[in-house]
Amino acid sequence: MNRGPERVAASAACAGAKADKLKAAVAAVNHQSLTRLTTALGRSGGRLLRLALEVAYPPTCVLCGAPGWGELDLCQGCLADLPGLAPSCGHCARPLAQGMPDGAICGQCQHRPPPYDRCLACFRYQGLVRKLMGDFKFRQRLALARLFGQLLAETARWESESCLPEQLVPVPLHPSRLRQRGYNQSLEVARVLGRALGVDVESQLVERVIATPPQLGLAREARLVNVRDAFRLRHPVTAGHLAIIDDVVTTGATVGELARLLKAAGARRVDVWAIARTG
């Protein structure tokens, strides 16, 4: 790790050129959610640059091996290929039908609002995003935590800069699943995210006391039953505003159960931040 003064000065000098490059790229990309993300990257290029100085490996595209775009482990072309989420619900982040305004509240949330306050996600869970998340979660490709943490940090800055949470709470794995996998993918992302945003990661606040079977493939009602009472607090909640960190939000049953627990323990606001959201 080298953070000598010359390298820091060099990073400041490149920030202007970087912003121009990013702005030009934003103009070339005709996709709403990607435009939001890339504009956010332009605004905070300096911060991402500092983040990159903290790690020993140069940014390299995880999909094609080309040099990364800015400090991301993705090149500009591959980033443009990833499935965006907009337009999506302003409460649960579920994709809305094309033509709906981004941020409108979906019928399901109007009818039965979820227990969390707001869900943010970077991408739609399909195609290349689905493949990368499978590599990260099931095939030990742990280096992807850096990319996912960076992307989620930029999305969160862009969407909620004036209202960042006091603590990040990664969804815990049951000890038996943790032993099997060797790592908790949500915690790995939360660590990168916490460093990038300057927000504490609270990985010991909740534990998973029931080893629930995987949620994928279950119907909504079955998922709700599946996760009921799955979590337990290990100590009192001290923060008023928390963000739950998850890799993929599907029906929202797991993060909903966790949000309910945190709110019952006194949290005023509980958001959910995820890499991807299913439709």
Q: Interface with Zn ion by CB under 5 A: which residues?
A: 61, 63-64, 66, 75, 78, 89, 91-92, 106, 109
Distances (CA, A) of 41 to 72, 172, 241: 10, 29, 25
Taking the complex as a whole, the smallest distance from the CB of residue 7 to Zn ion amounts, in Å, to: 26
Taking the complex as a whole, the smallest distance from the CB of residue 16 to Zn ion amounts, in Å, to: 25
Closer CB to Zn ion, 121 or 196, in the complex: 121
For residue 18, the surrounding DSSP H or E stretch is helix 5-28
- Per-residue 3-state assignment (H helix, E strand, C coil) for 155-205: HHHHHHHHHCCCEEEECCCCHHHHHHHCCCHHHHHHHHHHHHHCCEECCCC
Closer CB to Zn ion, 22 or 106, in the complex: 106
Taking the complex as a whole, the smallest distance from the CB of residue 115 to Zn ion amounts, in Å, to: 13
Across the chain, which distance is largest between two alpha carbons, in Å? 58
CA angle 114, 264, 257 (to 5 degrees): 40
- Whether 249 and 119 have beta carbons less than 8 Å apart is answered as yes
Taking the complex as a whole, the smallest distance from the CB of residue 69 to Zn ion amounts, in Å, to: 8
Closer CB to Zn ion, 91 or 269, in the complex: 91
Closer CB to Zn ion, 18 or 94, in the complex: 94
